[in-house]
Amino acid sequence: MRLRFSILFAAVIPGLLTAATESDQVTLSDGSMLRGAVSDLSAEGAVSLTPEVASGKVIIPRAAINNVKFAQAQAEPETHASMITLRNGDSLPCEVLGLDASQVRIRTWFSGEHSIPRAAVASLALGVRPQRQVYTGPGDIATWIENVGWRSEDNALVANERGLIRRDIQLPANYILRFRLAWEGAPNFVVDFGEVAGKQTQSDDRYRFSVNGGGVDLKRQRPGGRWSPPLFASGPLPAMQGAGEAEFEFRVDSKSQEIHLYIDGRWVKRIIDRSSTALPPGTAITFQCMGNNQGPQQIKSLEVFEWDAMTQRHQNEGPGAGKEDSIITSDGERFGGQIREIAGSGASATVLSENVHAPDGVIRIALKNVTTIYFVGPDPKLPEGESMTLQLRTKGLLTLKESHFDATSLICQHPLIGEMRIDRRALSSLYTSTIPVSDQPDQP
C-alpha cells in the first residue's frame, strides 16, 4: 500500500476576535518573526499581515512562511455528535438534518446549513460519543515524576539540550493520546508511551515514537530490551526540515491490538501490532529531547481521553466489497442496499434502504441505532500536490480554494461544498498540505 498523509506547515488558528489574548505570529523560513493581524489568505497561500510595528499591510508569499500562529479565540459555543466525510478526504462535525437521493443536508454552529451533493459524500458517522478526558497538560512541571533538562514556559515544556521528562498519565485500556510538538532548527524528539509507572528502565515493554528531520517512526520494545521492526515509518518529510510545529495523535485499542495514527488531524495509518499477544500494559509516558543545538524543543497541549474504540472500528471498516451502500448499527450489524432517505425527525427518525431480502423490499432502521453510513462511489482521494487545509477545533478538515477574513468569519470556497463562512471560533489551524508517499506496507 502506498500511504499518503499531510504534515503541518502553518499552525494553530484562530482569530482576531476582540477577546483574543495575543497577536498573530508569522515565523519566516529564515527564522525571523513578525507579529500583527492576519487579514487575508490568497488562493496561492500568501498571507496578508498588518504588523504591530508598521503601518499598512505586507503580503508574505507561502514559500517564505515557516509557521503561522493565530491569536487565541473565545471558546466555541456548541459541539456536534456527527461527522461527515467527503470524497476528497475532508470532514466536518455537524448535525445531520436530512438525506435523500440527491443530497445530504447538514447544520453546523460555525457555518450554518449546507446541502451537499450525495455523490460528494463518502460516509456519515452518527452519534459519535464524547470521550471522557483522563488528563490535560502538560501542567505544573513539579507533577512530573522525573525531569532532566526541561522547564515550564507559557503552558509548554521546553528543552534546549538533551533532556528527559516523565510522568504517569493513567492511560486507560483503550485511549487517545494527543500532543503537539514544536521546534526550532529541526525536530529531534523521542516519545515513549505505554510504559510501567516508576523509573524508566531499558527492559520496559513500551512503544517508542521518534520525530526528526528524517521523518517519523513507531516501534515497540519488548521486555528484555528487544526492539520490533518499525510498525510504521515515513521517509524524510519536507515540513520537518526547519522550524515548525505538528500535532500527533495515537488511538490505541487493546482488544484488537490496533493503533490509529493521526498527524495534524488527518488519519495516517492503521497499525496492527502482532509482536505480542497483548499491548504494553503501562500507563506512563516519557518525552526526550535528543538535542539539536539550534533552538528550543517544546511539548504542548498534552491530552489523554478514554476511547470508544468500537465506534472507531465501524468508522474505519469502509463500505465493503460490494456495490451497495452500507449501514452499520451500534451492535455491529451491517446492512447493504440502496439508501433511500432519512424519514422523520428526532427520536423517530428512521433510515430507509432498499434491500431485496426485506419482505417489502425496504429495511427500516432507527437512526438512533446507526453508528455509520457508507455511500458507494469512487474511493475518497486527498488533493494532489499542495493545497491549503483548514483544521477545525473539533478535528474536522477542509480543503480551501480562495479565502479571506472579515471581522467575524473566514470566507472561503470549498471544492465540494461551495462558499462557506466559518466562524473564527471554530478554526484551529491552517497549513499547506503536502502529500509525501511512503512504501511502508500495512501490518498483517
Q: Residue 227 is placed in which grid cell?
A: 526492539
Residue 288: CATH number of its domain: 2.60.120.560
- What is the C-alpha end-to-end distance of the chain, expressed in Å? 12
CB contact set of 118 (below 8 Å; sequence gap of 6+):
99, 100, 101, 102, 103, 104, 375
Q: Residue 301 is placed in which grid cell?
A: 497541549
**Residue found under cell 499591510:** 57
CB atoms within 10 A of CB 355: 18
**Residue found under cell 498483517:** 444
- Neighbour-count burial of 361, counting CB atoms closer than 10 A to its CB (0-12 exposed, 13-18 middle, 19+ buried): exposed
Confirm whether 164 is domain-assigned.
yes
Confirm whether 157 is domain-assigned.
yes
Confirm whether 204 is domain-assigned.
yes
Which structural domain range is residue 228 located in?
Answer: 133-307
**Residue 443 pLDDT:** 34
Full pLDDT tens readout for the chain, 444 residues: 333 333 233 333 333 333 334 677 777 777 677 888 887 777 666 888 888 877 788 888 877 876 677 666 666 677 788 899 998 888 999 999 999 989 999 999 999 999 999 999 999 988 665 567 899 999 889 999 899 999 998 889 999 999 999 999 999 989 999 999 988 888 899 999 999 887 666 678 899 999 988 889 999 998 777 888 899 998 776 666 666 788 899 999 888 889 989 887 777 888 999 888 889 989 999 999 998 667 889 999 899 988 876 655 555 555 655 678 988 887 778 888 899 999 988 878 899 999 888 888 899 998 888 888 999 887 656 555 556 778 887 778 888 767 788 878 888 888 899 899 998 888 877 766 544 433 333 433
**Residue 13 pLDDT:** 31
The dihedrals phi and psi of 169, each to the nearest 5 degrees, come to -105, 15
**Residue 27 pLDDT:** 73
* 356/372 Cα distance (integer angstroms): 21
Confirm whether 145 is domain-assigned.
yes
The mean predicted confidence, pLDDT, of the chain is 80
The dihedrals phi and psi of 172, each to the nearest 5 degrees, come to -75, 180
Stretch (H or E) spanning 397: strand 397-400
**Residue 400 pLDDT:** 78
Number of domains in the chain: 1
Confirm whether 322 is domain-assigned.
no
CB atoms within 10 A of CB 436: 16
Confirm whether 295 is domain-assigned.
yes
CB atoms within 10 A of CB 442: 11
- Report the sign of the C-alpha dihedral through residues 14, 16, 21, 26, in that order: positive
Confirm whether 209 is domain-assigned.
yes
Comparing CA positions, the residue from 115, 251, 229, 284 lying closest to residue 174 is: 251
- Residue 314, classed as helix, strand or coil, is helix
- Residue 356, classed as helix, strand or coil, is coil
**Residue 252 pLDDT:** 92
Confirm whether 121 is domain-assigned.
no
CB contact set of 345 (below 8 Å; sequence gap of 6+):
none
**Residue 3 pLDDT:** 33
Cross-strand bridge partners of residue 83 = 93, 125
